[in-house]
């Protein structure tokens, strides 16, 4: 006997038909995706896309003599072509970016190669090399300004003792040295980012490839060029593109070190945009300066989006754009091979030096000059010594600023001014800490920073956990496009967004309040955190969720009870990364907060400077205290931080 057909009321049938059409149009998971992604989409539309469009419109206006905004079309852009200050700042930016990125790549490749080899205390050495990344930007700038100081700094005495210079050099005040000095600081700050990703990429290369090549007679240079470099193509490309974008848009390091001087020799385009928009109140010309770099950034963002989406859009049809990007990618690969060749040759020479050292050691311990066969232990021991000697200059380069901070923080003002015992406090004193805490608003700035960093971290991690899951797991139309948009929003520079954001926050009446930063910080925290979480979610088998759903769990329940607990390492990583970035942020805090009782630590440290008078003792003491929370978090969760950066930039 046939079963009767199920009959639905007309209204119910209509709802089912509508639901089916919506699933066909938007994907089967569109409803829950809408819930998970709503905060992220609102953020993108309201605090990123709208300010960007606002800046674009603003760039077509200028302020008249009677302070009225007048529409001038493309005149602000056309004037830039004949503006020597603009062209000079653009050339400075290109030089700053090019030399910084190339130096960071070559240096970090060498450091990562050494750290990836067999050396004692490798994990400790890796942790030391990563320290500059976690130091706040303002601490980095003020520390190096103290080191560069021609009278009270520590660099000139060291170089005089080594015979490199015969006079006190004003590194940041001499036009022919200022930009190179700033580049050196940027390299010091950026080496960890390159090293951590390159080291992760090297560890992923199959060791059997090296063993087979060595058996076939390949030397170190051939192994590097034919195995290491091809195996690192993706990681190097992503790392260089990310670093190029961030370096090109640098503001804090350059501004805090030189303010764009001397004579505009270090004025990069972001500083020029700041000067014209917020110091001269010429918002339109300032916005035009920022937006003029968009075509350059767009090329790099498209290249980066291509690399970051590899393995996700494998079924996407080939287009003219994809072919063009492919050719550009091959061009980048050829440039990388050219840049990396000297490193391979250096690796070859290190191997030869190791072999020579092992032979000398063996001949010393042998008797009567008889022929000695080198053991594998002798060869390995010699190699360890040579690799440690190669790493030693970089360790000194990384550690000297930290030593300078500690040594200066525990000196009295008299010791600093009289240059007594330059590299060692004599006697040790806590005078600087006492002055800092009891005679300044440092404690208030510290509390402000904790509140803002904690609030923005909680919001950003919560929304990133939802948004990253939706983009990694849920099936809905537009997921790929939204993923690319998320990447683009993360890469939009603060130097491009601060002008419209300032006007918008002023209109909302929240400028010069903590709410201004709590609103704006997620604009750069959520996109990056979402990318990191996407990498973690993809590493979790989907079968676990499907089994839970078969047992009656909803998609949301499976996410909360199955996926989220397994993604806990990723959550810890993004929490640490988000808190670190919020704790260290300078540009928005510097522009959006003016009240001395509301400012955060990065701005507060800058406020301790009066004109050209730098209280180095207080600055170093303040820097030391400011760095402690981040360093403590880093030590506690170093493994999660490394995994988080790797997942966000390599897996995702």
Q: Which is more confident, 360 or 525?
A: 525
> How remote is the C-alpha of 355 from its chain's centroid?
39
Average the pLDDT over 496-512 and give the result. 88
Q: What angle do CA 20, 23, 28 make, to 5 degrees?
A: 125
- Where in the chain are the domains? 410-652
Please check the confidence at residue 404 and state whether its pLDDT lies above 80. yes
At residue 165 the predicted structure's pLDDT band, cuts being 50, 70 and 90, is confident
Q: At what angle do helices 522-538 and 442-473 cross, to 10 degrees?
A: 40
Kindly report the average pLDDT of the chain as a whole number: 80
Indicate the SS3 state at residue 613.
strand
- Going by C-beta distance under 8 Å and a sequence separation of 6 or more, which residues neighbour residue 62? 69, 70, 72, 75, 76, 282, 284, 285
- For position 314, what pLDDT does the model report? 45
At residue 367 the predicted structure's pLDDT band, cuts being 50, 70 and 90, is very low
- For position 593, what pLDDT does the model report? 93
Q: Which is more confident, 573 or 87?
A: 87
Q: Which two tokens stand for residue 313?
A: 């859009």
Q: Which of 227-241, 388-402, 549-563 has the highest mean pLDDT?
A: 388-402
At residue 86 the predicted structure's pLDDT band, cuts being 50, 70 and 90, is very high
Q: Which of 85-99, 187-201, 380-394 has the highest mean pLDDT?
A: 85-99
Q: Which is more confident, 222 or 144?
A: 144
- For position 119, what pLDDT does the model report? 78
Please check the confidence at residue 1 and state whether its pLDDT lies above 50. no
Q: Which two tokens stand for residue 169?
A: 């050099």
Please check the confidence at residue 504 and state whether its pLDDT lies above 50. yes
Name the percent of the chain lying above pLDDT 90. Answer: 24
What residues form DSSP beta bridges with 62?
Answer: 70
> How remote is the C-alpha of 392 from its chain's centroid?
25
- For position 23, what pLDDT does the model report? 61
Whole-angstrom Cα distance, residue 449 to residue 425?
Answer: 30
Report pLDDT digits (tens) over 272-315.
Answer: 999 988 888 888 888 899 888 888 877 777 776 666 555 444 44
Whole-angstrom Cα distance, residue 216 to residue 207?
Answer: 15
Average the pLDDT over 420-437 and give the result. 88
Whole-angstrom Cα distance, residue 140 to residue 186?
Answer: 9
Q: Which two tokens stand for residue 576?
A: 């640490």
Among the residues of 425-513, which ranges form H helices? 431-439, 442-473, 479-491, 494-508
Q: Is the dihedral of CA 366, 370, 374, 379 positive or negative?
A: positive
- For position 312, what pLDDT does the model report? 44
What DSSP state is assigned to residue 610?
B
Fold of 410-652: MetI-like fold (1.10.3720)
Whether residue 615 contacts residue 442, with contact meaning beta carbons closer than 8 Å, is answered with no
Q: Which of 41-55, 89-103, 629-643 has the highest mean pLDDT?
A: 89-103
Give the total residue count for the chain: 652
Q: Which of 96-100, 149-153, 173-177 has the lowest mean pLDDT?
A: 149-153
Q: Which of 125-129, 162-166, 328-332 has the highest mean pLDDT?
A: 162-166
Whole-angstrom Cα distance, residue 340 to residue 593?
Answer: 44
């Amino acid at each position: 006997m046939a079963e009767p057909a199920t009959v639905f009321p007309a209204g119910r049938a209509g709802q089912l038909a509508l639901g089916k059409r919506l699933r066909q149009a938007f994907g089967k998971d569109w409803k829950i995706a809408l819930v998970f992604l709503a905060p992220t989409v609102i953020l993108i539309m309201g605090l990123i896309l709208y300010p960007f469009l606002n800046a674009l419109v603003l760039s077509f206006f200028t302020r008249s003599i009677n302070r009225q905004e007048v529409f001038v079309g493309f005149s602000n852009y056309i004037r830039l072509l004949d503006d020597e200050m603009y062209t000079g700042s653009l050339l400075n930016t290109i030089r700053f970016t090019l030399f910084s990125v190339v130096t960071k790549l070559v240096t970090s490749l060498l450091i990562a190669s050494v750290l990836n080899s067999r050396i004692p205390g490798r994990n400790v050495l890796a942790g030391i090399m990563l320290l500059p990344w976690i130091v706040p930007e303002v601490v980095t700038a003020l520390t190096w300004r103290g080191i560069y100081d021609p009278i009270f700094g520590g660099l000139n005495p060291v170089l005089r003792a080594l015979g490199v210079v015969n006079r006190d050099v004003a590194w940041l005040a001499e036009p022919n040295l200022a930009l190179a000095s700033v580049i050196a600081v940027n390299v010091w700050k950026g080496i960890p980012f390159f090293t951590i990703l390159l080291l992760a990429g090297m560890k992923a290369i199959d060791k059997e490839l090296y063993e087979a090549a060595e058996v076939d007679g390949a030397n170190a240079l051939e192994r590097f060029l034919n195995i290491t470099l091809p195996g690192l193509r993706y990681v190097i490309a992503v790392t260089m593109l990310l670093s190029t974008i961030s370096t090109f848009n640098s503001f804090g390091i350059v501004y805090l070190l030189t303010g764009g001087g001397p004579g505009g020799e270090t004025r990069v385009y972001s500083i020029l945009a700041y000067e014209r928009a917020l110091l001269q109140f010429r918002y339109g010309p300032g916005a035009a300066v920022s937006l003029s770099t968009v075509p350059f950034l767009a090329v790099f963002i498209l290249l980066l989006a291509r690399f970051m989406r590899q393995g996700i859009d494998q079924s996407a049809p080939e287009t003219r754009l994809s072919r063009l990007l492919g050719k550009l990618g091959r061009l980048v690969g050829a440039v990388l091979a050219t840049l990396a060749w000297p490193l391979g040759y250096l690796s070859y020479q290190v191997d030869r030096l190791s072999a020579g050292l092992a032979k000398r050691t063996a001949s010393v311990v042998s008797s009567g000059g008889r022929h000695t066969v080198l053991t594998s232990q002798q060869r390995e021991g010699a190699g360890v010594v040579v690799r440690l000697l190669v790493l030693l200059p970089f360790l000194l380069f990384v550690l000297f600023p930290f030593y300078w901070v500690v040594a200066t923080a525990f000196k009295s003002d008299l010791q600093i001014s009289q240059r007594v015992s330059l590299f060692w406090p004599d006697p040790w004193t806590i005078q600087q800490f006492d002055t800092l805490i009891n005679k300044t608003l440092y404690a208030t700035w510290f509390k402000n920073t904790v509140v803002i960093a904690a609030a923005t971290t909680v919001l950003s991690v919560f929304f990133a956990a939802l948004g990253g899951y939706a983009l990694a797991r849920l099936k809905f139309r537009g997921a790929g496009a939204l993923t690319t948009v998320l990447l683009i929003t993360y890469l939009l520079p603060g130097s491009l967004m601060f002008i419209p954001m300032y006007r918008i926050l002023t209109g909302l009446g929240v400028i010069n309040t903590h709410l201004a930063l709590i609103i704006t910080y997620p604009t750069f925290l959520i996109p990056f955190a979402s990318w990191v979480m996407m990498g973690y979610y993809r590493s979790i088998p989907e079968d676990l969720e499907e089994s839970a759903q078969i047992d009656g769990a909803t998609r949301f329940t499976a996410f909360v009870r199955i996926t989220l607990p397994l993604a806990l390492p990723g959550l810890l990583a993004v929490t640490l990364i988000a808190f670190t970035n919020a704790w260290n942020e300078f540009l928005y805090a510097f522009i959006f907060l003016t009240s001395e009782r509301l400012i955060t630590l990065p701005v507060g440290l800058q406020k301790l400077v009066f004109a050209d008078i730098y209280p180095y003792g207080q600055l170093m003491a303040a820097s030391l205290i400011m760095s402690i929370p981040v360093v403590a978090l880093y030590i506690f969760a170093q493994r999660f931080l490394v995994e988080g950066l790797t997942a966000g930039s390599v897996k995702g």
